[in-house]
Amino acid sequence: MAPNSLTRFSLRWRPSLRFTSRISEKTLMRMSVGLQARQSQVQKLAPRMIQSMEILQMPTLALQERIEQEMNENPLLEQQTGDPLNPDDGDDEIPDKDTRSESEKELVVDNDHDNKDDFERLLNMDSDLPSTFDDSFRQSANRMSEDADRRHDMMANAQSRPESLNDYLLHQLAEMDIDDEVEQIAERIISTLNASDGGYLRMPLADLLPSGHSKEDFEKAEEALAVVQSLEPSGIAARDLSECLISQLDPSVAHFDELSTLIRSHLNDLAENRLPQISKKTGFSIELIQELREELHLLNPKPGAAFLETYVPNVTPDIILEQDESGEYRVRLDDDRVPTLFISEYYRRRLQASDCSDAEREFIKQKINGAQWLIDSIEQRRSTLTRVSEAIVEHQKRFLDEGPEAIEPLKMQQIADKVGVHVTTVSRAVDDKWIQTPRGILPLRRFFVGGTQTEDGDDVAWDTIRLKLQELIDKEDKSKPYSDENLVDELKKAGMTVARRTVTKYRKKMGIPSSRQRRDWSLTAS
């Protein structure tokens, strides 16, 4: 067999263990080499490409922090320190962009000699710089005043930490004149309460007492629990929903006994709107049960939830959408606080100086490359984010003009094809980005929605279907509300073909009860 034939044979066929034992060692070695030879192509991203994608994905505030970090690490980076809206307000004179690019291209680094150990000069470089260069890093008086005012406003507007549920209860407990031992147990009870759980007592009282406790100890624990339950908010430290609601009832209120009966025995029936069954078991009329249910709705099933610390993020729009006199939308990046960067003119001249050592030249060369990559990445971010935003706005113009009901289905691949970039680039560009529109500040991802087709072949967004679904339920006959099957039929009449399971899924996501729970029994009785 010819060598080429053997190679082709070895690549296509794997001999069994029994057969290989009868093959000569030399032949087996040749076959194993052929089997192990592989050729593969692996795509690896260069560090600079990763940096560009990271900067594209950053919102404006994160980009500001990244630029500040880079400037601390790279002495060749300089920025405009004056007001970007008033270029004359500042100490720095920024070279023309085109002029800088040409100068940087003309830089020639001598790579024919090895670097020398002359880093002592690099460490003392700041002392060799002229005073005019040192001044270029100082902020103008106006900018320093603006920064001070901004820091003062941030401190003045900083929110103080709200009082926790436990602190609120402990402050009330401290004002009460009770037995010390009861007070200690009450403090232990309070320490177990959690605002995120509604303020319920989930731990048995016996677990709060030492092992081998006496009957008297347990009675004191019950006394301590009664003390805690007497505190505000009403219903706190309840062991279940019934106890929570009953503790909020005023014994002098009308229908106190009837309300207590519903709370103790018929909460599940009330939740499922099984009013006829409740009427049959209690003898209460449907009208009375509905009246009692309205009163129960005034009670708080989670009294401790009011002390939850809700975090509301401070959203800063990255894109501003404005309308011109003709009504056309114009996209503008809100990056006024992103400083304009350029490479230090001093270091560029220093690189061409005759007394610049090899080590110094290599150091400056590396820092120039890093600075230029950062500047290019920021500029690429501006360009990509602008083009992506313009394409999104153009596609969703009806949504901006008419409202949420006019939003159209949109996939990221459509924008990627229109802009001429990869879909992952679009995903990074819109990630954690916000746009200020005439309809408020919205996340860019809000404009990407799925959809389906009508019988006429037109695309319709799921948001439009959900709005139509809400409209149908708002206008339905409450004595005979639509089932999910009925809703499917009504949507089909409106030209929207949707599966029943889809209707059920979106109804639940919208917090809309089932048809049985939406039924008004008083209308049925009449």
Residue 314 has pLDDT above 70, yes or no: yes
Backbone phi, psi, residue 140, to 5°: -70, 165
- Both tokens of 167, joined, read 């602190």
- For residues 236 and 287, the answer to whether their CB atoms sit within 8 Å is no
CA-angle at 178, arms to 172 and 184, nearest 5°: 80
Give burial (CB, 10 Å; 0-12/13-18/19+) of 149.
Answer: exposed
Give me the mean pLDDT over the 37-57 stretch. 67
Confidence at 225, pLDDT banded by 50, 70, 90: very high
**Order of strands, sheet of 434-437, starting from the edge strand that comes earlier in the sequence:** 329-333, 319-323, 434-437, 440-443
Alpha-helix runs per DSSP H in 318-461: 345-351, 358-395, 397-402, 412-419, 423-430
Give the burial string for 162-186 (b: 16+ CB within 10 Å, else e).
eeebbebbeeebeeeeeeeebbebb
Give me the mean pLDDT over the 160-185 stretch. 86
Of 418, 402, 417, 408, whose CA–CA distance to 458 is shortest? 408
Higher pLDDT, 221 or 27: 221
- For residues 131 and 158, the answer to whether their CB atoms sit within 8 Å is no
Of 457, 474, 473, whose CA–CA distance to 409 is shortest? 457
Give burial (CB, 10 Å; 0-12/13-18/19+) of 319.
Answer: buried
* Length of the chain (residues): 526
For 327-357, the three-class secondary structure string (H helix, E strand, C coil) is CCEEEEECCCCCCCEEECHHHHHHHCCCCCC
Residue 493 has pLDDT above 80, yes or no: yes
Higher pLDDT, 412 or 492: 412
Give burial (CB, 10 Å; 0-12/13-18/19+) of 83.
Answer: middle
Give burial (CB, 10 Å; 0-12/13-18/19+) of 19.
Answer: exposed
Which residues contact residue 485 at a Cβ distance below 8 angstroms, ignoring those fewer than 6 apart?
500
Give me the mean pLDDT over the 320-326 stretch. 88
DSSP state of 195: G
Percent of the chain scoring above 90 in pLDDT? 23
Residue 141 has pLDDT above 70, yes or no: no
Of 127, 140, 51, 50, whose CA–CA distance to 93 is shortest? 140
d(CA 12, CA 35) in angstroms, rounded, equals: 9
Continuous segment of H or E residues that includes residue 210: none
- Both tokens of 69, joined, read 């970090």
DSSP state of 435: E
Higher pLDDT, 525 or 52: 52
Low-confidence winner among 164-173, 290-299, 516-525 (lowest mean pLDDT): 516-525
Mean pLDDT score of the chain: 77
Of 453, 448, 379, whose CA–CA distance to 412 is shortest? 448
The CATH class of 452-525 is mainly alpha
Structural domain boundaries in the chain: 3-36, 50-138+339-372, 165-307, 452-525
- For residues 465 and 491, the answer to whether their CB atoms sit within 8 Å is yes
d(CA 430, CA 57) in angstroms, rounded, equals: 7
- Pairing type for strands 434-437 and 319-323 reads parallel
**What's the one-letter identity of residue 58?**
M
Low-confidence winner among 19-28, 163-172, 473-482 (lowest mean pLDDT): 19-28
* Residue 402 confidence (pLDDT): 85
Residue 244 has pLDDT above 90, yes or no: yes
Residue 147 has pLDDT above 70, yes or no: no
CA-angle at 519, arms to 516 and 523, nearest 5°: 150
CA neighbours closer than 13 Å in the CB half-sphere of residue 82: 12
Give me the mean pLDDT over the 492-516 stretch. 82
Of 391, 449, 446, whose CA–CA distance to 416 is shortest? 391
Higher pLDDT, 70 or 523: 70
Name the packing angle between helices 412-419 and 423-430 (round to 10°).
110
Tell me what percent of the chain is helix, strand and coil, each rounded to the nearest 5: 55, 5, 35
Give the burial string for 338-363 (b: 16+ CB within 10 Å, else e).
bbbbbbbbbbbebbeeeebbbbbbbb
pTM above 0.75, yes or no: no
Of 414, 373, 369, 381, whose CA–CA distance to 396 is shortest? 414
Residue 304 has pLDDT above 50, yes or no: yes
Which residues contact residue 374 at a Cβ distance below 8 angstroms, ignoring those fewer than 6 apart?
51, 55, 67, 70, 74, 77, 341
